[in-house]
Amino acid sequence: SLFRLKDLEVPKLGDSDVHIKMLAAPINPADINVIQGTYPLLPPLPAVGGSEGVGEVLEVGRRVTALEPGDWVIPADAGLGTWRTRGVFPQEMLLKVPSDIPLLCAATLSVNPCTAFRVLADFESLAPGTALPGSAIPAALPAAPAVPIRVSSPPGDSVIQNAANSGVGQAVIQIARASGIKTINVVRDRPDLPKLVERLMALGADHVVTEETLRKPEMKDIFKSTPRPRLALNCVGGKSTTEMLRHLQPKGTMVTYGGMAKQPVMVPVSAFIFRDVRLRGFWMTQWRKDHAQDQGSVASMMDTLCQLIRRGQLTAPACTEIPLQDYRAALEASMKPFVSSKQILLL
């Protein structure tokens, strides 16, 4: 094993530093890729694993004004090294989050929900079917008239995604639901499929289908009530992607943010020529780099997500909590196929 637990001295607190006690940190697929050496961000070794989590501020340096002891913080960027009990970090590496949201929501906030929010907001302007109060994603709808007018409203836009049971997938379902956007969710067939379908429907999924169903004529039934998607979200690659693309509207966009199948994205030439689909990519780490000077857009995203969490419209993904000393079991479990539960280290 490349990993072991180590006791280190807590470094001295500098004027702009913050001493935090980590509370909980998940194991994400990207963390495994970092360990395997296949991720574009590789920290110099020896390194502390983990890029996400939540901690509590214990002490702040004398120049720190934005944080105080007792505040909850999450990493402002990837590569913080969150699998630890204590840490001293420069204040700009941390973002304050409200401490009145559930611990597991805060621990899993900075990667998956942010990715879900951005891929839904940044590539297509999706119109809701029924405008919901306080929509998460700014709706492309005029203000409602004061006099009720009866019209038959269009069904609103839809999104199709694979790996719908992933952390990002679960967040997409909930944010889309809060924004009045329909979701078609693709999962792999598995022994406990009915249970998974039930769980995703409870989160607000409109349709849940298997990879096999994507190729079948019964997809037509879905499109009787739900418009063809303008946006496809791909974190698998391979066959799954090609099948999803077939259901995309002309001029629609497919955004790839992961490659769980480790296979390339294959696109039929006809999809480009006759349907003019757009293929884009998204990496949350890059988005944060690009918006480092634009704290407004970071703050408004975090604000919206925390409001959804408070309203019960966005929950943490299914989690298994594991004490830090059992990190080996947690790492192994996070690499097993069909585990629909995120391993969270309790620190």
Active site residues: 39
Q: What CA–CA distance (Å, rounded) separates 111 from 103?
A: 15
- Work out whether strand 158-161 and strand 207-210 pair parallel, antiparallel, or are unpaired: unpaired
Q: What CA–CA distance (Å, rounded) separates 325 from 52?
A: 18
Closest alpha carbon to 171 in 204, 193, 139, 197: 204
Yes or no: say if 277 and 267 are a contact pair by the CB < 8 Å rule. Answer: yes
Give the H/E segment covering residue 74.
Answer: strand 72-75
Residue 233 to residues 211, 236, 301: CA-CA distances in angstroms? 14, 9, 19
Is the bond leading into 191 cis (omega within 30 degrees of zero)? no
Residue 252: CB partners within 8 Å, gap ≥ 6? 124, 228, 229, 230, 231, 232, 275, 277, 278
255 φ, ψ (degrees, to nearest 5): -105, 125
